[in-house]
């Protein structure tokens, strides 16, 4: 069983479904409103646990009802929460999501996720060093990503950096990560609009560019490979990237090849979009293997 540590955000997703997005200054009537657990870090933790990994989450929630719900949800999904701390004087992070016209748009208010600092992460150092792989994203402070890249590198623990949401990252962090998984937009921010094929060549078997329905692209040291995604009827694409990252990490930690790990992750991500909510469609191991 793979031992995985996820360092990142835990948020409550406030999801409005509507037939279209309002224009600037316009008010429209929506169809439904729901609150569901989300946050890129928490989503990746739940996805990896459902796929059978031993998962420790390192993160912060607020001292409010949303925070309590998020911790309950971790427990229900068998994610260890020894390093998920309620920060009593602040609110839980929230993601304000509009689902319309077949896609989502999201505004994240980080709240307690701002408290996932290097000093806070230090408390989980022992668990981090024993992990087969560590996952991190960017809804937490930049210095934490830099710190985690440093300790993972120093302790020979592979780090998967999911650079979402997009922001520039130092070359040192890029060098220290074992895997980097931007989508096309995040890749253009990360590599300053550099031609993506050149960027892929610079980081063989490390840079994986996710292209949504198209699949996932990487350079294997000799040729560029596109591993196609699976066609499904999408209900809600929120969390598909998180499912991909978690499933890829599980497969790599179990010793699968790069290509097989991407295939496994593409399958998991495709299943995740068939139900509502970031975590609603995240599949179990049996569901993924049943489809492969
Ligand atoms: O990646 C999807 C997640 O991004 C959502 O669950 C939401 O919380 C946003 O942070």
pLDDT, tens digit, for every residue of 216-272?
Answer: 999 999 999 999 999 999 999 999 999 999 999 999 999 999 999 999 999 999 999
CA 48 from centroid of its chain's CA atoms = 10
The preferred substitution site among 16, 40, 243, 246 for testing ligand 1, maximizing ligand atoms within 8 Å of CB, is 40
**From the CA of 61, how far away is ligand 1's center (Å)?**
15
- What's the pLDDT score for residue 183? 97
Distance 241 CA to ligand 1 centre (A): 9
Q: Which of 239, 241, 279 to mutate to test the pocket of ligand 1 (most atoms within 8 A of CB)?
A: 239
Q: Can you tell me which residue has the tokens 């609009």?
A: 193
Judge if the beta carbon of residue 39 lies within 6 A of ligand 1.
yes
pTM (whole model) above 0.85: yes
Q: What is the mean pLDDT of residues 81-107?
A: 96
| Axis crossing angle, helix 240-253 with helix 40-50, rounded to the nearest 10 | 50
* Ligand 1 center–CA 44 separation, angstroms: 10
Question: How big is the chain by its Cα radius of gyration, in Å?
Answer: 18
- From 10, 13, 281, mutation site for ligand 1 pocket: most ligand atoms within 8 A of C-beta: 13
> Region 74-91: what's the mean pLDDT?
97
Is the beta carbon of 13 within 6 A of some atom in ligand 1? yes
Q: For ligand 1, is residue 236 a contact (CB within 6 Å)?
A: no
C-beta of 37 in contact with ligand 1 (< 6 A): no
pLDDT for the residue 292: 72
What confidence score (pLDDT) does residue 102 get?
86
E strand or H helix that includes residue 108 = strand 103-109
pLDDT value of residue 172? 97
Binning pLDDT at 50, 70 and 90, where does residue 31 land? very high
Q: Which residues are catalytic?
A: 242
**Which is the closest atom of ligand 1 to the Cα of 38?**
6
Please tell me the residue having the least CA distance from ligand 1 atom 9.
39
The rounded Å distance from CA 228 to ligand 1 centre is 24
Residue 10's pLDDT band (cuts 50, 70, 90) = very high
CATH number for the region 3-17+33-291 comes to: 3.40.1190.20
Tens digits of residue pLDDT in 107-139 = 999 999 999 999 999 999 999 999 999 999 999
Report CA(106)–ligand 1 centroid distance (Å).
8
Q: How many CB atoms lie within 10 A of CB 30?
A: 14
Q: At what angle do helices 40-50 and 65-76 cross, to 10 degrees?
A: 20
Ligand 1 nearest atom to the CA of residue 97, by list position: 7
Tens digits of residue pLDDT in 171-192: 999 999 999 999 999 999 999 9
* Residue 25 CB-density burial (10 A; 0-12 exposed, 13-18 middle, 19+ buried): exposed
CA of 278 to the centre of ligand 1 (A): 7
Average pLDDT of the chain is 97
In the chain, what are the domain boundaries?
Answer: 3-17+33-291
- Identify the pLDDT of residue 128: 98
Phi, psi for 287 (deg, rounded to 5): -65, -40
């Amino acid at each position: 069983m793979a031992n995985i540590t996820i360092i990142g955000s835990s948020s409550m997703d406030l999801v409005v479904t509507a037939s279209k997005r309002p224009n600037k200054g316009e008010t429209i009537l929506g169809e439904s409103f729901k609150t569901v657990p989300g946050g890129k870090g928490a989503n990746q933790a739940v996805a990896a646990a459902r796929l059978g990994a031993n998962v420790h989450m390192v993160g912060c929630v607020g001292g409010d009802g949303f925070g309590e719900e998020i911790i309950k949800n971790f427990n229900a999904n068998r994610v260890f929460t020894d390093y998920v701390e309620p920060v009593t004087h602040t609110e839980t992070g929230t993601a304000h999501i509009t689902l319309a016209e077949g896609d989502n748009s999201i505004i994240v208010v980080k709240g307690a996720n701002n408290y996932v600092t290097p000093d806070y992460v230090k408390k989980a150092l022992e668990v981090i060093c024993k992990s087969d792989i560590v996952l991190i994203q960017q809804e937490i402070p930049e210095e934490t990503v830099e710190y985690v890249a440093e300790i993972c590198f120093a302790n020979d623990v592979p780090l998967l950096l999911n650079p979402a949401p997009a922001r520039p990252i130092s070359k040192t962090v890029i060098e220290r990560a074992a895997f980097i998984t931007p989508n096309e937009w995040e890749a253009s921010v990360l590599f300053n609009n550099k031609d993506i094929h050149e960027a892929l060549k610079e980081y063989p078997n490390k840079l994986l560019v996710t292209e949504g329905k198209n699949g996932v692209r990487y350079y294997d040291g000799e040729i560029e490979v596109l591993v196609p995604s699976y066609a499904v009827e999408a209900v809600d694409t929120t969390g598909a990237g998180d499912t991909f990252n978690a499933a890829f990490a599980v497969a790599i930690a179990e010793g699968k090849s790069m290509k097989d790990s991407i295939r496994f992750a593409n399958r998991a991500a495709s299943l995740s979009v068939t139900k509502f909510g970031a975590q609603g469609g995240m599949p179990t191991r049996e569901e993924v293997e049943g489809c492969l």
